[in-house]
Amino acid sequence: MTYDVIIVGGGIAGLTASAYLSKAGKKVLLCEKGEKVGGLVSTFNYKGFTLDGGIRAIENSGIVKPMLKDLGIDVPFKRSVVTLGIEDEVIKIEDLSSLEKYQSLLSNKFPNEKDDIKKVVDMMKQLMKYMDILYGIENPLFLDIKRDKAYFQKEILPWMFKFMFTVGKIKKYQTPVETYLANLTKNESLNNVIAQHFFKQTPTFFALSYFSLYLDYNYPLEGTGMLIDKINQFILDHGVEILLDTTIESIDLKTKTIKDQNNETYTYDQLLWAADTNKLYQIANLESIPNKKLRQKALAFKDGIKNLRGGDSIQTTYMLVDLDPSYFENICTAHFFYTPKKTGDGKIKETLPLVLKSKDQKVLFDWINDYLDNTTFEISMPALRNRALAPEGQTGLIVSTLMEFDLVKHISDLGLYDQYKSFIEQKMVDILDASIFKGFKSKVFDTFGSSPLTILNRTGNKDGAITGWAFTNKNIPAVTSFLGVTKAVKTYIPDVVQAGQWSYSPAGLPVSIMTGKIASDYILKKTK
Distance, CA of 159 to CA of 133 (rounded, Å): 8
Phi, psi of 134 (to 5 degrees): -65, -40
Cβ contact 11:18 at 8 Å: no
Distance, CA of 505 to CA of 484 (rounded, Å): 11
Residue 147 confidence (pLDDT) above 80: no
> Which pLDDT tens digit goes with each residue over 259-310?
999 999 999 999 999 999 999 999 999 999 999 999 999 999 999 999 999 9
CA-closest candidate to residue 285, choices 269, 298, 270: 298
Contacts of 158 (CB under 8 A, 6+ apart): none
At position 104, the amino acid (one-letter code) is: S
Mean pLDDT, the chain, integer: 95
* Residue of higher predicted confidence among 349 and 162: 349
- Confidence at 457, pLDDT banded by 50, 70, 90: very high
Could you tell me the pTM of the whole model? 0.95
Helix-strand-coil percent breakdown of the chain, rounded to 5? 45, 20, 35
